[in-house]
Each structure stands twice: as structure tokens, then as C-alpha cells.
């Protein structure tokens, strides 16, 4: 009887530890770390219409060497290539969306960094050597290709701060209300000569 109770207690303790471990792994997962907080890392409100904001975003990307893949009044997409090492390739893709917000525009931006590695595909070529038959020699192949090995969204707040700071330079300048000219005062009529005083009548005696 005691052995059965001890076995049951050990089983319960083991199950609790297993659940705790699973819960810890789940708590560390990427999905649960996504907090949807109220920060403005990926968005800003700017002056102007959405079309003007997206045009400013397009010019911002062009000024930094990005190739524009898509551009209209509501969305802009651009990409830029990097090669940090001979067999490694990186691509940075920025996607911008512009939406109205009252009399202003709300600009959203998301940057994704893709990493590629060169995958070599060697082939063999046969070379005849007379009576000895043919020998298979490896030669380089034109079938080498880049394979995506990683992809991640950039979350660095400083990166996006610099983007929006640059975007501000391409927004149209705010038009100031010019004072309306005052209507010219109508000219007053010129005053004529004053009438001469009439002498007072005197009684004749």
C-alpha cells in the first residue's frame, strides 16, 4: 500500500515538473513575447495627405540606394542588397503604408532582413584518355544558387527613428496663410472754397 502511494506521489510530481517545463518553453516563445504595446516604433503621424507621405517615403528610399518595387498613393516597397561575405547575401526590404488620420497622414513602416547562402552544385565532366577510358573530373557548375537561410523583422527603434527623420525632409513644406490685402480706402471728395460771409442787413433811418 505504501509503495503504491509513493509511486502515485512520484508520478504526480513528475507530471507537475513536466507541465512547468512546458509552460516555461511556451512563455519564452516568439508568439508570447509579441506584446502589441502602445509604442510608436513602426508608425508616425506626419503633416500632409497620405499620397504626399508615401511620395516622401519613396524619395527617402531612393536617396539611400533602394530599388523601388512598388509605389502608389497608399503603399511603397523598396529593397536593397548587401554582401557582407563572399558566400553570404543579405537583402533589406522596407514596406510602407500611408493612411489618413484626420487632416494628417499616418505612416506605417516595417523592415525585413533576409539572409541567403550560396549553395554550390558541382557537376562532373568526362574526359577521354585513350585506352584507359574516361576519367570523371569535377568542374564548376552554373547551377549555383542562393538559398534563404534566415528572415527576421527589424525591431531596432533607432533604425526607424532615422527613417522617419529622413522622411520629414521630403514632406511638402507647410503653406502659411498669407494675410489678405486690406481694401483701399475710397478717396474723399476735395473740399470746395468756403462761401464768403453775407453782410448783415442794416435798418435805414
Please report, for the domain that includes residue 160, its CATH number.
3.30.530.50
C-alpha cell at 32: 508570447
CB 144 within 8 A of CB 116: no
Q: Is 193 part of a structural domain of the chain?
A: no
Measured over the CA atoms of residue 57, residue 62, residue 65 and residue 69, the dihedral's sign is positive
Domain that holds residue 51: 38-117+150-168
Query: What total of structural domains would you count in the chain?
Result: 1
Q: Residue holding cell 486690406?
A: 182
Q: Which residues pair with 110 in a beta bridge?
A: 95
Q: Is 50 part of a structural domain of the chain?
A: yes
- pLDDT tens figures, 43-92: 999 999 999 999 999 999 999 999 999 999 999 999 999 988 888 899 99
Taking the whole predicted model, whether its pTM rises above 0.75 is answered as: no
Q: Is 105 part of a structural domain of the chain?
A: yes
Q: Is 100 part of a structural domain of the chain?
A: yes
Q: In whole numbers, what is the pLDDT of the chain averaged over residues?
A: 77
Q: Is 64 part of a structural domain of the chain?
A: yes
Q: Is 80 part of a structural domain of the chain?
A: yes
Q: Is 26 part of a structural domain of the chain?
A: no
**Nearest CA to 114 among 159, 162, 147?**
147
Q: Is 161 part of a structural domain of the chain?
A: yes
Amino acid at each position: 500500500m505504501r509503495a503504491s502511494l509513493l509511486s502515485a506521489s512520484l508520478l504526480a510530481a513528475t507530471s507537475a515538473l513536466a507541465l512547468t517545463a512546458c509552460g516555461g518553453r511556451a512563455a519564452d516563445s516568439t508568439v508570447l513575447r509579441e506584446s502589441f504595446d502602445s509604442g510608436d516604433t513602426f508608425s508616425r503621424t506626419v503633416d500632409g495627405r497620405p499620397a504626399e507621405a508615401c511620395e516622401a517615403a519613396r524619395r527617402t528610399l531612393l536617396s539611400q540606394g533602394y530599388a523601388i518595387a512598388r509605389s502608389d498613393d497608399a503603399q511603397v516597397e523598396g529593397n536593397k542588397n548587401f554582401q557582407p561575405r563572399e558566400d553570404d547575401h543579405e537583402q533589406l526590404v522596407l514596406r510602407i503604408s500611408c493612411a489618413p488620420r484626420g487632416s494628417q497622414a499616418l505612416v506605417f513602416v516595417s523592415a525585413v532582413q533576409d539572409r541567403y547562402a550560396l549553395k554550390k552544385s558541382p557537376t562532373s565532366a568526362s574526359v577521354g584518355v585513350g585506352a584507359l577510358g574516361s576519367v570523371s573530373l569535377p568542374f564548376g557548375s552554373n547551377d549555383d544558387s542562393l538559398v534563404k537561410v534566415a528572415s527576421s523583422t527589424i525591431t531596432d527603434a533607432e533604425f526607424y527613428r532615422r527613417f522617419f527623420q529622413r522622411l520629414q525632409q521630403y514632406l511638402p513644406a507647410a503653406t502659411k496663410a498669407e494675410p489678405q490685402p486690406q481694401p483701399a480706402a475710397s478717396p474723399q471728395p476735395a473740399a470746395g472754397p468756403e462761401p464768403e460771409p453775407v453782410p448783415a442787413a442794416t435798418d435805414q433811418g
